[in-house]
Chains A and B, each alone.
Chain A
Amino acid sequence: QVQLVQSGAEVKKPGASVKVSCKVSGYTLTELSMHWVRQAPGKGLEWMGGFDPQDGETIYAQEFQGRITMTEDTSTDTAYMELSSLRSEDTAVYYCVTGPTVGYVNWFDPWGQGTLVTVSS
């Protein structure tokens, strides 16, 4: 079964960038469709971006376009999410998740353990 292990907590200053990693085991990264979802403290879930099997491309939610980059290193089966121009509202737990590799993005399973990113001056 797929297991996702994320990097540790980060503290960043406003305007900086953060890069969160997600190590895959049980499968190879090429067999999976990766997405990122975040959750601000005490708030709900928010999809940030991921692989769309319909288009065969990684797409990003409008809110993050221009600030987010998702990459993959298939040699180490590690996915990355980099978010730039950080502001206090980006303080959240960031989750890597896997979705369907064909058809529509209709579920996310499993989820990584989450990485807390704190943006504070």
Chain B
Amino acid sequence: QSALTQPASVSGSPGQSITISCTGTSSDVGGYDYVSWYQQHPGKAPKLMIYDVSNRPSGVSNRFSGSKSGNTASLTLSGLQAEDEADYYCSSYTGSSTLVIFGGGTKLTVL
């Protein structure tokens, strides 16, 4: 199973909004509403930011939101802050023997 496709990098200025896409197939992203997003700062473990396409775990800022259309999921960060600069990974349930696949990651730079 191939990794989900994410842009290698995105950037934005403080206060702006950015969107990161995550494209899969009908066997993963398009087939289930089980897309999650993770934030990873350098040298740290990933942190769950969004699950089930658009749900935020307790404690995650409401500046983070998720959506999905067809085989593409998206993560939107509004009101960009310096602390948002990190790598972001999407993942999807697949229903196959490889239960979960991840995207290649997107580096967010806050200008």
In the complex, chain B residues 82-111 whose Cβ is within 8 Å of any chain A Cβ: 89, 91, 93, 97-105
Please report the total number of B residues contacting A with Cβ < 8 Å.
Answer: 25
Bound complex: CA A112 to CA B3 (Å)? 23
**B100-A105 in contact (CB<8A):** yes
**B97-A62 in contact (CB<8A):** yes
Which one of A35, A44, A52, A95 contacts B104 once the chains associate, using CB atoms below 8 Å?
A44
Which one of B36, B52, B105 contacts A108 once the chains associate, using CB atoms below 8 Å?
B36
Bound complex: CA A62 to CA B1 (Å)? 9
**B97-A106 in contact (CB<8A):** no
Which A residues are in CB contact (< 8 Å) with B46? 45, 95, 108, 111
**A61-B98 in contact (CB<8A):** yes
Bound complex: CA A114 to CA B48 (Å)? 15
A25 to chain B, nearest CB (A): 16
Which one of A47, A111, A114 contacts B102 once the chains associate, using CB atoms below 8 Å?
A47
CB of B47 within 8 Å of the partner chain: yes
Closest B residue to A112 by beta carbon equals B45
Which B residues are in CB contact (< 8 Å) with A113? 45
Which one of A45, A61, A114 contacts B91 once the chains associate, using CB atoms below 8 Å?
A45
A contact set with B: CB distance below 8 Å = 35, 37, 44-47, 50, 52, 59-63, 95, 104-114
New contact pairs (17) apart from A50-B99, A107-B48, CB-CB < 8 Å = A44-B89, A44-B105, A45-B38, A45-B105, A47-B98, A47-B101, A47-B102, A52-B99, A61-B97, A106-B51, A106-B93, A107-B36, A107-B52, A108-B38, A108-B46, A111-B47, A112-B45
